[in-house]
Amino acid sequence: MNTSEVGSNSYGSQYSQYPGHPQYPGHPGYPGCPTAPVAMAMEMPKEVRMARIALYALGGVNLLVGLLMFGAAGARIGEGGGASPAMLASSGAVCLAVGVVAIVLAARFRSGGNGVRIGVVVVGGIVLLNTLVSLAMGELTNGIGIVLGGMPMAVCLKKDAVRWFKRPCH
């Protein structure tokens, strides 16, 4: 039997093309393979970009405050009154951890999936809760946490952000 009887060449589809039999597609890049439409790259929504910038700012502020707290803890060793060095050092460690997590999450916005969005909501909620508790206790210097914690959290709960983070990534 020659190739004209089968209906394909030796490099084409390995399935017969006799009348009444289905045509099976080949492999990508080979004859018989249908070309799939190329998906357009989705652009990050403007609000999501702003949330990313706010997360970078939140991370930077927390890293700076954490380092300042460690410095203050070192300066207070042996002094009485006020916050203890251990309390300052532990608060500084928490600030550093939140700062690193915020920067890592912000860096993963372009390639990250739904887990990044959930992480932003959790970190933003923690920062917002901490800020509100601080404000309720009379500390008025922590108001920037409302913007830097609440805005990324609120944006990541919107439909545009959900669509962005649940998009197929290749």
Q: How many CB atoms lie within 10 A of CB 79?
A: 9
**Confidence band, pLDDT 50/70/90 cuts, at residue 127:** very high
Angle, helices 46-75 vs 144-156, to 10°: value is 140
pLDDT of 118 higher than 60 = yes
pLDDT, position 29: 54
Q: Quick one: what percent of the chain has pLDDT higher than 70?
A: 72
Amino acid at 59: G
pLDDT digits (tens, 9 = 90+) for 91-105: 899 999 999 999 999
d(CA 65, CA 94): 10
Q: Any idea what DSSP says for residue 141?
A: G
pLDDT, position 155: 94
pLDDT digits (tens, 9 = 90+) for 130-150: 888 888 888 777 778 888 999
d(CA 84, CA 76): 7
pLDDT digits (tens, 9 = 90+) for 7-21: 555 555 555 556 665
pLDDT of 40 higher than 70 = no
pLDDT of 75 higher than 70 = yes
Q: Distances from the Cα of 161 to the Cαs of 51, 93, 108, 116, 121, in angstroms?
A: 10, 30, 14, 11, 11
Task: Give the helix/strand (H/E) hosting 9.
Answer: none
What is the number of residues in the chain? 170
pLDDT of 37 higher than 50 = no
Burial group, residue 147, by CB count within 10 angstroms (0-12, 13-18, 19+): middle
